[in-house]
Amino acid sequence: MESLDAYCKIVDFMSEESKEVVSESYWYLSILGVSPDIQGKGLGPDLILPVLEKTDELGAAVYLETFTPKNFGFYKRLGFYEAKTVHEPVTDADYTIMVRDAR
């Protein structure tokens, strides 16, 4: 239960922080992960591109958070930009909110 409690606190905190840069109409991408030993094989785009195609079709903007700067390049290649960085107290980490406008 401690893990769920921590996760909920992080989500609540980031939800409040994101209100400055996104609206309720934005789609939120919660968790995307590829095991480090198989990264770089095209699996990340295979996972996320179908969702981005759907949001583009609907004219919806998308956002996500990442606390791993090495992920910025991946998301930027998909059209995301850094909208806001905040220090999240539960994990004691800097989270960056990245946004992709509707296309």
Structural domains of the chain sorted by starting position, each given as residue range(s) with its CATH number in brackets: 2-100 (3.40.630.30)
Tens of pLDDT along 65-92? 999 898 899 999 999 999 999 999 999 9
SS3 63: strand
pTM of the model: 0.89
Q: Give the per-residue pLDDT at 82.
A: 97
Among 66, 93, 33, 13, smallest CA distance to 5 is for 13
What's the angle, vertex CA 50, arms to CA 80 and CA 40, rounded to 5?
65
Dihedral angle sign, alpha carbons of residues 93, 97, 48, 69: negative
Following DSSP, what letter does each residue of 13-30 receive, concatenated? Answer: HHHHHHTTT--TTSEE--
